[in-house]
Structure 1
Amino acid sequence: MNTLSLSKQDIATMTATDVENLAARLEQDNYTNIFDGLQDWHLLRAIAFQRPELVEPYIYLLDLEPYDEA
């Protein structure tokens, strides 16, 4: 089984174009198996935590909602 193994440095070198291509793949949802799509989703989520400015236009793909502890 292949696992996602990107370092913080890998994410630090990603460009807006890289994230745009990733988001396009997620939007098309044309994967040969569910695990490929899940891997892209996890990658986008990792980018969102480390470089939120790149993911801002595509945040809807992550279904993240503000969490209120109240």
Structure 2
Amino acid sequence: MTTLSISSRQIEALTESDVADLATRLEQDSYTNPFDGLNDWHLLRAIAFQRPELIEPYMHLLDLEAYDEA
């Protein structure tokens, strides 16, 4: 099994088009291997933390919700 490894520099080099392609793959969910979908999801999540402006239209794919611990 291979491990997904992406550096901060690689995330910095991503364009809006790259992220749109990633989101399209996630929305279509037609992966031949379930781990490929999971890797794409983790990549989108990494982008969300480092370049949140790129994933604003695709936040629904991450299913992140703010919560109150109070």
Cα distance between partner residues in 2 of 1:17 and 1:4: 21
CA RMSD of aligned residues (A): 0.5
Unaligned runs of 5+ in 1: none
Q: TM-score if structure 2 supplies the norm length?
A: 0.97
Correspondence for 2:61:
61
Q: How many residues align?
A: 70
Correspondence for 2:52:
52
**Amino acid across the alignment from 1:40:** D
Q: CA deviation at 1:28?
A: 0.2
* Post-superposition CA distance 1:7-60 (Å, at most 9, x none): 000000100000000000000000001100000000000000000000000000
Q: CA deviation at 1:67?
A: 2.1
Q: TM-score if structure 1 supplies the norm length?
A: 0.97
% same residue: 71
Where in structure 1 do 4 or more consecutive aligned residues deviate above 3 Å?
none
Unaligned runs of 5+ in 2: none
SS of 1:69's partner is coil
